[in-house]
Structures are given as structure tokens and as C-alpha cells.
Chain A
């Protein structure tokens, strides 16, 4: 072996995290003084990301159907018998309840972990491992949790969402009781199909990137790459959803259950509170002389002795095409509060045809709402929103709007919402 080869292997061991501190110091000295070693390291890093990129693209290419020609030789009988034994053993092993786990790789906001044995933890830490039967809940509109499912598969749940790991025969099972989930299911050797149950559907995928919004009476499944199979629980009807397509799965068998192409994104949105089911959280209030539509904020316990009052409006549930966030976009909300306290507006964002991106929040000071008890209308430019985590860019420009939430920490404010709009940048802006 040449000294260069020794050096290169040492660098690979370093990248692998398998060197002790004295060897790590040696690597640091080597990299400071040897341009050749640095060039090798840069090369490895470039090759690592390009290998991953090429594999990602390959996995999304349609696989040609393989036609096998039957051909059998006597010597293969022995091999076949051995294979049968292995198959039998595998079958027996498959009969044992399979275990699958999910590791929390990132977490933000109030969350709750309920172990299969009923033990409850009101704090979820990065590195926590969920086993079959365990449940994780994100408890406020601004919370999210990212789960690493090994083999390149990932899931993010966000907003008010509850996810449980299930024991489903031959599959990696999950129950999405309610809320939003973004999943990247990477096809890897020996990987099992993912099976996600919602109140109205079962979604199965082996290699796909998709998102699900689940409510008690309907689920919306959007596939951005790969393929997912969806069964409507009401009648067992199934559909395949290919990339760039979506389906709404209603609980009623009398309502349409079909696959449609995802419509082109638009740059504005009006929640149309009366016309569609866009308001996904809140209590409907009786009409008064000024407003025929009034959605009262709903109390939400987000931790010990901490309650906020929230109304939430979902783009997908409203039936709108995807809404693109542009530089100069604005959120306009009309409502009423009974006290002079600030309110907060939040945006959930995701990548266009991709996974969860992040949460942004803006505070609206009490002065901007005018006199208590009087209806107000506020327009908050995108530039006033701030990311909930440092990791995020200052503004979610170029992302897709998932939902808008409005909350007040004050119960006495009696926050109610009459209208929610997402406006494009003004011409000439």
C-alpha cells in the first residue's frame, strides 16, 4: 500500500467516526498541511452527495417489467430445495410480530409521547425512539416532529396531529388519527411497504413522496413522486395515485372518490368559510347583525397550564389548488376580539411537490386591532413573519402554503374570525 492509500483510508475512517481522539488530531494536522489530502476529502464529499442524488433519481424512474423465461436444469433441484427451506424459515419468522421503530430526529413546540403501556411524557426529545404501539402528538399549530424511519425514509408530522406505530402484518404500519403528515418512503433492500391508516382510508406505498391531511370525515392524499395505493374504508374501493396526482377520500360512499391531477399552483387564496370545509379548527358561532360567518377560536391545551385559542384554515381542505408563496404576498384576516390583546398569525409551509418545510409566525399588536369588541381587518405582509426555527430561511418564498392559523393566548379575548385570505403581491410592488 502506498502512503497515499494509507492517508486516504485514514480520512475515510475519520469520516466514518471510527477514529480515537489522537488519530483525529493527526487527521486535522494532515488536512491543514497537505493540499492532496484536502483534495481527496473534497472529492469524497462531492462523490457522496452525487451518489445520493443519482440514486434518488434512479429510484423515481419507472422500472421496466421483467419477463423471465422458464428454464430449469437438474442441478438446480438441489438449490431449489434449499431455497424452499429458506423460504419456509422466512415464512415462520414473518409470522412473529414484526418490530419497526421511528426515531425522533427533530422536534419543535409542544409534543406528547404516549408509550404503548400508557405511560405519558409531555416532552419529546431528539433521539427518542418510538416502538409499535407508541403514540406521538404534536399539540399546537406551530409544533412539528421529524421522524427518521431508517433506510432513507422520513416522516414529518405538524400542527395538531396524532400518529401511532401499528403492528400490521408484513408492513410498517402507522395510524394517523388526525392532522398533517409528510412522508418520504425510500425503497431499500428488504424494506417493507408503508401502510398508513387514517379515519377514512388506508394509504400504502413502497417508494414515494406524499402528504396526507386527515380529518374525521375525509382525508386528502397528494403524491409528488412514486406511487401510492389508497383504499376507502367505507367500501373497500381502491385507487393508485401516481406522481403529481391527488385524491380526496371521503367517509361517505355516496361521495366521489377519484384520482385527479394536482392543479397548477395559484398565488392567492380565499378560505371561503361558508362554501367549503376550509376551516379545520374552530367553533361555528351564530350569525349576528354584522357577520353571517363567525368562527370562534377553539381552546387548545398545549402543555401544563398552557392553553391557547386557535382557529385553523387549510388550503387543501378548502378545495383550492396549491398556493405559492411569493415575495410580497400578504395575509388578510377579518375578525373580532373582546379585549385589547395581541393576536398571532401563523403559516405552515411545505416544499412545492415536496415535504414539510417549516412554520412562520407574526404578532399583530393590540393597537392594530382597534377598539375591543369592534370588528377589525389586518393585512400582514410576508416580511413580518418570522421563522419558528433558526434552520429556516427568513421568508418562505417559493414554498407552498399548507394552512393559516390564528390564535390568542387570552380566553377573554373571545377571538372570532370572519374571513381569511392570502393575497398576491401588488402589481408594481
Chain B
């Protein structure tokens, strides 16, 4: 039996912060799925990071830390929803848990490189595509408002967004498949 099985070493504050920052996009994304507002999701991630730092419980592995971070982000998101009028309907807990497990597995396999690949792919997008994403996710407009702003049909906006998300996904996979350097 190896020593690592006999003794579990708790993550230090620095380890915790480093791990959380490397998974910032995933934890924020999990919060976004609940609140559907990128600025609130960012706030929730910051709160999760602070809670992790000031928590008395120790994390014995990256997996334990990440599971706790996703659950805390979800709870914070649900709390935020409760305080809102006309809040979006939240996905069922069982579905959110499924998504979070997949994120934890992906984080263990890929670390934080996916986020950089996504940023590189966004850089390569044409201005009109960046503008569409900005209106929808940074300005926080619903697709109907975006359609009105652009003088386009609602169906056309959904179609363009759907294809944009798909093309970004393919771009990320391509970049991740390329050998480093």
C-alpha cells in the first residue's frame, strides 16, 4: 500500500486558489446555466473562491474541491434566482448534477487549456459574429431583442447563434487536437 493511500494531504490555500482559477470558466458557466446572466455568474464565481479560501473544511483532492465548487455555485445561483422577479425557470437539480459531473470529469482530463482555446477561437470570429454574441451574452439581451436591434427575424437569430456555438465548439476541439507548440 502506498503512502499516498495511508495519508491524505489537504490542499493549501494557494492550491485551492490555483485550481479554482484554472476552472473559472467551467464554474462560472455552471452558475450561468442557473442565473443566465454572465455578470452575476462572475460574481458567483468570486464568492465561491472566497468561500473556499475562508472555509474551515479541508479539501483532500482536486475532485473534492471541484465538486464542492460546482454545488456551491449552483446553490448561490438558486439563492440569487429566489431574490429576482421574473427569474428564468431553473433546470431540474438532477440535470444540473449530471452536467456538473461531466464538467468535473472534463476538468480532470483537460485542466484549463480549453478556456484559452475558446478565447483564441473568439479572436478569429468575424466582427458580425462577435457582435451577435456580445449583444446576447455581454449586454444580456434576449434573442427577441437582438433580432429587433439587428432588424432580423427571430428564427434567423436562433439559427445564427446555434451555428456560431457549434462552430466555436469545432474550433476548440481542433485547437485541442493540435500538438502543443
Task: Let me know if B86 is at the binding interface, CB within 8 A.
Answer: yes
User: Which residues of the partner chain A approach B71 to less than 8 Å between Cβ atoms?
Assistant: none
- Tell me the smallest distance from the CB of A309 to a CB of chain B, in Å: 30
Does A32 count as interface, using CB distance less than 8 angstroms? yes
| Whole-angstrom distance between the Cβ of A32 and the nearest chain B Cβ | 6
Residue of B nearest to A1 (CB): B159
Choose, from A53-61, A314-322, A402-410, the stretch at the interface: A53-61
CA distance A105 to B137 in the complex (A): 18
Choice from A17, A48, A394 contacting B54 with Cβ under 8 Å: A394
Say yes or no: A188 contacts B139, CB within 8 Å: yes
Known: A17-B88, A43-B168, A391-B47. A50 touches B122 (CB 8 A): yes
Known A48-B137, A398-B50; judge A106-B29 contact (CB<8 A).
no
Interface 9-mer from A5-13, A210-218, A282-290, A421-429? A5-13
Is B143 in contact with chain A by the CB < 8 A criterion? yes
A46 touches B55 (CB 8 A): no
Look across to chain B and name the residue whose beta carbon is closest to the beta carbon of A6: B162
The answer, among A32, A47, A391, for a CB contact under 8 Å with B80, is A391
* Nearest CB of chain A from residue B21's CB, rounded to whole Å: 13
Bound-state CA distance A188–B158 (Å) is 22
Interface of A is mostly: helix
Interface status of A15 (Cβ within 8 A of chain B) = yes
A51 / chain B contacts, CB cutoff of 8 Å:
38, 122, 133-134, 137-138
Known: A15-B36, A54-B119, A151-B139. A38 touches B99 (CB 8 A): yes
Q: Are A46 and B54 closer than 8 Å at their CB atoms?
A: no
CA A43 to CA B50, docked complex, whole Å: 26
CB atoms of A397 and B53 under 8 A apart: yes
Q: Is A169 an interface residue (CB 8 A)?
A: no
Q: Known contacts A12-B162, A49-B28, A398-B53; is A55 also within 8 Å of B134 by CB?
A: yes
B46 contacts across to A, CB distance below 8 A: 351
Chain B min CB distance to A187 (Å) = 11
Cβ of B166 to closest chain A Cβ, rounded Å: 7
Partner pick for A12 among B95, B140, B143, CB 8 A cutoff: B143
Chain B residues with CB under 8 Å of A45's CB are 29-30, 32-33
A281 at the interface (CB under 8 A from B): no
Complex contacts, B51 vs chain A, CB 8 Å: 393-394
Residues of A within 8 A of B55 (CB): 394
Q: Give the size of the chain B interface in residues (CB under 8 angstroms).
A: 60
A contact residues around B168 at 8 Å (CB) = 43, 47
Instruction: Give Cα distance in the complex from A397 to B161, angstroms.
Output: 40
Residues of B contacting A28 with CB < 8 Å?
91-92, 95
Closest to B169 in A: A43
Contact between chains at B84 and A126 (CB < 8 Å) = yes
| Binary CB contact string for chain B from 2 to 32 against chain A (1 if under 8 A, 0 otherwise) | 0000000000000000000000011011101
Given contacts A18-B143, A49-B38, contact A40 B54 (CB under 8 A): no
Q: A40-B165, A54-B122 are in contact. Are A393 and B54 (CB under 8 A)?
A: yes
With A45-B32, A393-B50 in contact, is A127–B76 under 8 Å at CB? Answer: no
Whose C-beta in chain A lies nearest to the C-beta of B87? A17
Q: Mark B157-178, 1 if CB is under 8 A from A, else 0.
A: 0110111011011000000000
Q: Does B165 contact A43, Cβ atoms closer than 8 Å?
A: yes
Rounded to whole angstroms, the CA-CA distance of A39 and B29 in the bound complex is 12
* B128 is an interface residue with CB less than 8 A from chain A: no
Contacts of A399 in B (CB 8 A): 50
Q: Kindly list chain A residues whose C-beta atoms are within 8 Å of the C-beta of B99.
A: 31, 38, 41-42
- Is A267 interfacial (CB 8 A cutoff)? no
Q: Tell me which residues across on chain B come within 8 A of A394, comparing CB atoms.
A: 51, 54-55
Indicate whether B98 reaches chain A with its CB closer than 8 angstroms: yes
Provide a sorted-by-A list of 21 A–B residue pairs whose CB atoms are within 8 angstroms: A9-B159, A12-B162, A17-B88, A31-B95, A35-B102, A40-B165, A40-B169, A41-B99, A43-B168, A45-B32, A49-B42, A51-B133, A53-B42, A126-B84, A127-B86, A151-B139, A391-B79, A392-B47, A393-B50, A393-B54, A398-B50
Query: Which 5 A-B residue pairings sit nearest by Cβ, starting from the closest?
Result: A52-B38, A127-B85, A45-B29, A55-B138, A393-B51
**14 new A-B contacts at CB < 8 Å, known A32-B95, A50-B122:** A8-B162, A42-B29, A43-B168, A46-B114, A48-B29, A49-B28, A52-B41, A55-B134, A55-B138, A126-B85, A152-B140, A351-B46, A392-B47, A393-B50
Residues on A facing B (Cβ under 8 Å): 5, 8-9, 12-13, 15-18, 24, 28, 31-32, 35, 38-56, 105-106, 126-127, 151-152, 154, 188, 327, 351, 390-399
